[in-house]
Amino acid sequence: MIDAENLTLEELAIALAPALADAAIFDGWGEQALATAAQLEGVDADVARLAFPDGAMDMIAAWTASIDRRMAESLDPVELASMKIRERIRTLVLFRLEAALPQREAVRRAIAVMLLPGNIRRSLRLGWRSADLMWRMAGDRATDYNHYSKRAILASIYAATLSVFVNDDSEGQGETHAFLDRRIDDVMQFEKTKASLLKPGMERFSVTRLLGRLRYPAI
C-alpha cells in the first residue's frame, strides 16, 4: 500500500507505476488501469489522477522512470566497472528487458501509444533519458559530440530491441538476446572504424557546436 499523503505527485506517479503496468496488460494505459492501480495500492482515485495530468504518456513516463530507478539501485557499479564496455551496455539493456518481462503486453501497448504522432517527440525524450542513464552507469564521461551520438545510438538500439522483445516467444527470449548482441556488435565495429578515420583536426564542420545546441527538455 502507498502512503500518498507523504509523497509528491511525481513520487506518487512512480510509486503507482508498477501496479499501473500490471493493470495496463488487460486495460491498456488509460483511466481503467489507473483506477485499478489506485484501488490496489489504497490511493484515492482522484488523487491518483492528479499525478498523471497528461494521461497515458504520463503513466508510461512514470513506469520508465521506475525501471530507471530500479536499474540504478540494483546493479553494482563495481561489478559493472569490471566488465568490458559492450558487456556493460548489454547487461544494462537486458536488466530493463527482464524487469519488464512480466508486463510484456503492457510494453506492447505502451509502444502503440508512444508511436502516435502527437507522442513521438516526448517518446524520444524518454528514450534519450534512459540511454543517458545507461551510459552514465556504464562509466561514460564523454563531453564532446560523442556524448550525444552514443546516447542517440543506444536509444535507437533499445527501441529496436523492444520491438523484437514484445513479439519474442523463443525460449529464454533467445531471439531478443541475439538481436541485441548483433546491434551492439555493429556499434562496436562502427566505433572502431570511426576512431581509425577521425583524427584530431580532421573535422570540416563543428559537430560539437551543432549537437551542443541540444538540451535535456523537461518531460
pLDDT in tens, 139-196: 998 888 889 989 999 999 999 999 999 999 999 999 999 999 999 988 887 666 666 6
pLDDT tens digits, residue range 81-131?
A: 999 999 999 999 999 999 999 999 999 999 999 999 999 999 999 999 999
Long-range contacts of 187-196 (CB under 8 A, 24+ apart): 187/153, 187/157, 188/86
State the Cα–Cα distance between residues 11 and 7, nearest whole angstrom. 6
Q: What is the pTM of this model?
A: 0.86
**Percentage of residues of the chain with pLDDT beyond 70:** 86
State the Cα–Cα distance between residues 96 and 167, nearest whole angstrom. 16
Please give the distance of CA 166 from its chain centroid, rounded to a whole number.
15
Among 91, 161, 159, 110, which residue's Cα sits nearest to residue 130? 159
State the Cα–Cα distance between residues 110 and 124, nearest whole angstrom. 13
The pLDDT confidence band at residue 31, using thresholds 50, 70 and 90, is very high
Q: Is pLDDT above 90 for 66?
A: yes
